[in-house]
Structure 1
Amino acid sequence: MGNLRAIGMASSLAVAIALAGCGPATEQANVAEVARPVEVVAVTTEPLALSSELPGRVEPVRVAEVRARVPGIVMKKNFEEGADVKAGDLLFQIDPAPLKAAVSRAEGDLARAQSVAHEAQARVKRYEPLVKIEAVSQQDFDSATADLRSAQAAIRSAQADLETARLNLGYASVKAPISGRVGRALVTEGALVGQGDVTLMARIQQLDPVYVDFTQSVADALRLRESLKDGKLSGDDNKALSIRVEGTQYERQGALLFTDIAVDRGTGQVSLRGKFANSDGVLLPGMYVRVRTPQGTDNQAILVPQRAVQRGSDGNAVVMVVGADDRVEPRSVTTGAMQGSRWQISEGLKVGDQVIVGGLAGLQPGGKVAPAQTQVQAQVQSPAAQQ
């Protein structure tokens, strides 16, 4: 009986030892790696209009300085400062009295010259038949002819003096040379103007349309030219521009007029000019604006959501993609333009890559993931991407 009990206890101990030895190995074998669910988007290409935003200044299309062209006393100001005027509108009236007297004097000089010429003409007519029969000497006839020509020249001179006097009388009424907006008056009634110099009286600026002058670096211009030449970008034929007034959301569309033919030696910038409608007069000369100018179209652009792009300690951009066997693979990329809530990726991704956009928190390279496709709506804030 004692032997049977000893055998049973030994058997139980052996089973327990066997179970204790097999337990942990069995659990480790049965534990499977858990795949983390993530959201991914498949990389595709699409056309992307590129643009640059550059600083610019508003300039008037035309500027006219209204000056006194004759001396005199200002008698009247006929405009409201800051108002719109049309070409030919009367702005100032200078005292015309001395100028009218000059006209009368010139008219008298012309009448006197005409009288002298008439007398000389009559003398020549009388001498002409007489000189043929030698009743009058040839010398007397030649002298009469010379007197006639001198009188005729005096008439032309008197006519010119009369025309000048009448022009000066007209200049007493100072009129707007162009249509536009007139600034403040620089002289007042009673002021003596035009005495020794042409006094500036007011300034008129044409504000519809207006120019916007801005600059672009030569390096950017050359890179754009090379990209167009290599076929990476296609040109934008309409040359459409848009401007935004600094500090506001006010925007307006315009067109590129020209690019300057010279480069500023000090800054390495090339000047450009755009033209914009300004019927409401919001754009004023000297106003600071941001000009968005087209830089071509990338027909094979790769765009990914902004949240998919992470920055390392070195500042380089990295995205997480689903690699072989559904494992996380970090990928260094080069970002380009921003379009709404998406980054343009110029290098590092190819069509078909699965970019992780959701579930990135705590994700480690090499980790197992369960990707699920998601649709990303691009929140585009402008028609063109901004460089």
Structure 2
Amino acid sequence: MKNVQQFSTLLKPLAASLALAGLVAVSLAGCDSANSKVPDAPAAGGPPVSTAAVVEKQITETQEFSGRLEAIDRVEIRSRVNGFITSVNFKPGSEVKKGDVLFVIDPRPYQAEVERTEGAAASARAKAGLAKLELTRSEKLLAEKAIAQREYDEKAADMKGLEADARAAQASYDAAKLNLSYTRVESPISGRVSKAEITVGNLIDATAILTSVVSTDRIYASFDGDEDTYLRVAGTAQKGTPVTVKIGLANETGFPHEGKLEFVDNRLDPATGSVRMRATFANTDRELVPGLFARVQLDGGNGPKAQSTALLISDRAVGTDQSRKFVYVIGADNKAEYRAVKLGPNSDGLRVVREGLKVGEKIVVNGLQRVRPGAAVTPQLVAMDFDPTAPAAPAKPEAKDAKIAAKAASTTKE
């Protein structure tokens, strides 16, 4: 019995050791299982990109250029006589009308000259009149042979000389009156006046520039067109068919001002291949000012209603490869294909494609930097005029999710 108890005592530590070893083995097996877990497989397909179908529609062909606004009439106001400025009758930058007096030059010396020449002209006329009367008497005496022919001829010559003197005196009088009128410097056109270059009290000489006036009711937009534009619009403009031109200022969106092509130069510059053109615009609100930069949009030259069918894409879809433009076309296998394209002008926010694409082909319009030629992508179809910067509309729950939510609400209520 004593031996049995001793043997039992020896077995207890051994059993505890075996149990501990079993726990360690189980723990190690769990760790090996966790460490040997197979990693998740990569997601199928390539990076997500936004794609859109190439659009085909009727457009009015336009071209865009850079230009400058120019005044139709611009006049430098100059002095035509010498004298002291006694009055400046306008506010700088204000609008003036034709005939408004802008400056007054001291008129007193010119008024005195008018009176002097007026008296001289009257005296010359009187002498000429007397000579004419004497010549008439001499004609009667000559008929009666009371005077010699020589005496008559002398009186006739004297009369002609005095008449010439009278005309000269009258011309001097007219010139004096003209100079007197020049002391009132008037605006020759209606428009906006600049600042006064010479102020009151200054002595000026003839031809001195006093200020300037530019017309404001209408204005020019001048720009340089290319050879293709000249070939399309020159014939139309020469026939008298109106060619629509629109402009937009630097702080404006689009081309809100509409006018007509007024002038196409008679030659192209061989150095630049450009031709000078000019359009006329109404300026009733006085918003257009000479010298401003303007974006110019010119229609196709066949009248504003002439339209053509064109393929259109977003400018965001176009990449640049050195001197070429390209897009990525998505094929049936969702792989990107590099495609060089030839682009045209902008129309209603989309770019005209002249060569390289077909209607209905899907191209990448957002995520271009994640695409490589021949690589697979995950296309997400959007509209061609899709704006990725616009805030997304709140997502609506699908029908299945709505049913689950309704069932959960019903269970909670019960």
Normalised TM-score (structure 2): 0.68
- Tell me whether 1:346 sits opposite 2:350 in the alignment: no
Aligned partner (choices 355, 376, 385) of residue 362 of structure 2: 355
8 Å CA contact 2:336–2:371 kept in 1: the answer is no
Aligned partner (choices 216, 227, 240) of residue 244 of structure 2: 240
Post-superposition Cα deviations, 1:256-281, rounded to whole Å, max 9, x if no partner, equal 11111233354332211111222222
- Write out aligned runs for 1:70-89 (5 A): 70-89=81-100
Query: What secondary structure, in the 3-state scheme, does the structure 2 residue paired with 1:134 have?
Result: coil
Residues 1:368 and 1:103: Cα distance change in structure 2 (over 3 Å): closer
Q: Which amino acid aligns with 1:349?
A: L
Q: CA deviation at 1:134?
A: 1.3
Query: What secondary structure, in the 3-state scheme, does the structure 2 residue paired with 1:261 have?
Result: coil
Residues 1:181 and 1:135: Cα distance change in structure 2 (over 3 Å): same
Post-superposition Cα deviations, 1:296-346, rounded to whole Å, max 9, x if no partner, equal 6662312245666677799652443555xx776836241414445644332
Query: What secondary structure, in the 3-state scheme, does the structure 2 residue paired with 1:262 have?
Result: coil
Q: CA deviation at 1:68?
A: 1.1
- Tell me whether 1:206 sits opposite 2:204 in the alignment: no
Residues 1:358 and 1:270: Cα distance change in structure 2 (over 3 Å): closer
- Write out aligned runs for 1:56-67 (5 A): 56-67=67-78
Aligned partner (choices 245, 255, 258) of residue 260 of structure 2: 255
8 Å CA contact 2:52–2:365 kept in 1: the answer is no
RMSD of the TM alignment (CA)? 3.9
Match of 1:267 in 2: 272
Q: CA deviation at 1:35?
A: 10
Q: Distance in 2 between matches of 1:313 and 1:139?
A: 101
Q: Distance in 1 between matches of 2:298 and 2:86?
A: 50
Q: Which amino acid aligns with 2:264?
A: T
Match of 1:232 in 2: none
Single out whichever of 291-300 and 128-137 deviates more from structure 2: 291-300
Query: What secondary structure, in the 3-state scheme, does the structure 1 residue paired with 2:61 have?
Result: strand
Residues 1:191 and 1:347: Cα distance change in structure 2 (over 3 Å): same
Q: CA deviation at 1:248?
A: 4.3
Single out whichever of 339-348 and 106-115 deviates more from structure 2: 339-348
Query: What secondary structure, in the 3-state scheme, does the structure 1 residue paired with 2:132 have?
Result: helix
Normalised TM-score (structure 1): 0.73
Q: Distance in 2 between matches of 1:210 and 1:332?
A: 45
8 Å CA contact 1:131–1:138 kept in 2: the answer is yes
Q: Which amino acid aligns with 1:280?
A: D
Q: CA deviation at 1:368?
A: 12
Q: CA deviation at 1:87?
A: 0.6
Q: Which amino acid aligns with 2:139?
A: E
Query: What secondary structure, in the 3-state scheme, does the structure 2 residue paired with 1:290 have?
Result: strand
Aligned partner (choices 322, 334, 339) of residue 332 of structure 1: 339
- Tell me whether 1:284 sits opposite 2:293 in the alignment: no
8 Å CA contact 1:243–1:253 kept in 2: the answer is yes
Match of 2:401 in 1: none
Residues 1:110 and 1:340: Cα distance change in structure 2 (over 3 Å): closer
Q: Distance in 2 between matches of 1:131 and 1:140?
A: 9
Residues 1:318 and 1:217: Cα distance change in structure 2 (over 3 Å): same
Q: Which amino acid aligns with 1:317?
A: F
Match of 1:215 in 2: 224
Q: CA deviation at 1:214?
A: 1.1
Larger strand percent: 1
Q: Which amino acid aligns with 1:187?
A: I
- Tell me whether 1:135 sits opposite 2:146 in the alignment: yes
- Write out aligned runs for 1:154-193 (5 A): 154-193=165-204
**Percent of aligned pairs sharing the same letter:** 31
8 Å CA contact 1:58–1:212 kept in 2: the answer is yes
Q: Which amino acid aligns with 2:261?
A: L
Residues 1:113 and 1:203: Cα distance change in structure 2 (over 3 Å): same
Q: Distance in 2 between matches of 1:203 and 1:339?
A: 41
Q: Which amino acid aligns with 2:245?
A: L
Residues 1:190 and 1:266: Cα distance change in structure 2 (over 3 Å): farther
- Tell me whether 1:112 sits opposite 2:120 in the alignment: no
Structure 2 unmatched runs, 5+: 1-43, 388-414
Match of 1:53 in 2: 64
Look at both structures and tell me which one has the larger radius of gyration over its CA atoms: 2
Q: CA deviation at 1:84?
A: 0.3
8 Å CA contact 2:341–2:357 kept in 1: the answer is no
Match of 1:320 in 2: 329
Q: Which amino acid aligns with 1:278?
A: N
Residues 1:308 and 1:107: Cα distance change in structure 2 (over 3 Å): closer
Q: CA deviation at 1:166?
A: 0.9
Q: CA deviation at 1:64?
A: 1.0
- Write out aligned runs for 1:16-27 (5 A): none
Post-superposition Cα deviations, 1:182-204, rounded to whole Å, max 9, x if no partner, equal 1000111111122xx41111111
Q: Distance in 1 between matches of 2:149 and 2:49?
A: 122
Post-superposition Cα deviations, 1:115-146, rounded to whole Å, max 9, x if no partner, equal 21122112112111111221100111111111
Residues 1:77 and 1:127: Cα distance change in structure 2 (over 3 Å): same
Total equivalences in the alignment = 333
Query: What secondary structure, in the 3-state scheme, does the structure 1 residue paired with 2:215 have?
Result: strand
